Amino acid sequence: MQTRWLACALAILPVCLAAAQTTAPATEPAADPIAAANQNTPHGAIEVSLIAMFLYNADAARSVYAPSDALEGNVIDAMVAEDKIRAQIEMEKKKLFASDYTDPLAPLRADLLKMFALLDQATETINGDTATCTYQLKGQQQRTLVKIDGRWCLPLDEAYFFNIPADVRQQPKVKALMRQLFTQELLRRNAEIAALKQYQRDLRSGQYLSLDEADDAMAAAQDEAIAHLQAKTQPALNP
């Protein structure tokens, strides 16, 4: 099952475009752009944020997202914790069901390479420790980044609410709504972490006899966790 975070990420996938091909010297293999992504430039930081978003990469998430308050810091902590347990689960499924296992993130890696090719053509405007990066990914997009300890970072509200203009995000009512949404996001992630931990215990105990059964159980565990959370946090509708 794709979480809402992954579903949101998939919604901004660009139309498949052929990236320009480069030829590496015969004696040197071409560098992996995903592994080489860094935060030395604003567009590089956006690449790192896409790695965190699409590939459940805990190190990328910890490095690139910048919280503006304690709540956003807690969301990032939960994001990192969830990414770590997802990575552990995939490694364990690969070991248990080696003959049937295929990397579920492989198609997303191919999409990331296409996105990176477009980000290489981004326009950057740098003003001290603040930068604006404008690029084409399924239409023109723009992000505002900040430099922290020598590396470019993406404020968490830019990652979640990039479609709301920055000046609008500063309005009190909008800020209150964003805080409410971040609170819901933290609750959701914590619920999924608890469900994934229980699922991991079941996986390690040998409860699942096939990869399909394990995948179905993982999806069901997350669905149940979200449904339970919604039942607790959303008021009942009057008939």
Give me the half-sphere count of Cα atoms (radius 13 Å) on the Cβ side of residue 139: 3
At residue 141, φ and ψ (nearest 5 deg) are -130, 155
Measured between alpha carbons, how far is 223 from 9 in angstroms, rounded to an integer?
19
Kind and range of the H or E run holding 144: strand 140-148
pTM for the structure as a whole: 0.82
DSSP letter string, 116-134: HHHHTT-EEEEETTEEEEE
pLDDT tens for the chain, residues 1 to 239: 444 443 444 344 333 333 333 334 444 555 788 999 999 999 999 999 999 999 999 999 999 999 999 999 999 999 999 999 999 999 999 999 999 999 999 999 989 999 999 999 999 999 999 999 999 888 889 999 999 999 999 999 999 998 898 899 999 999 999 999 999 999 999 999 999 999 999 999 999 999 999 999 999 999 999 998 888 876 543 43
Give me the half-sphere count of Cα atoms (radius 13 Å) on the Cβ side of residue 124: 19
* Domain ranges for the chain: 4-232
Within 8 A by CB and 6+ apart from 65, the residues are 49, 52, 76, 79, 153, 154, 155, 156, 159
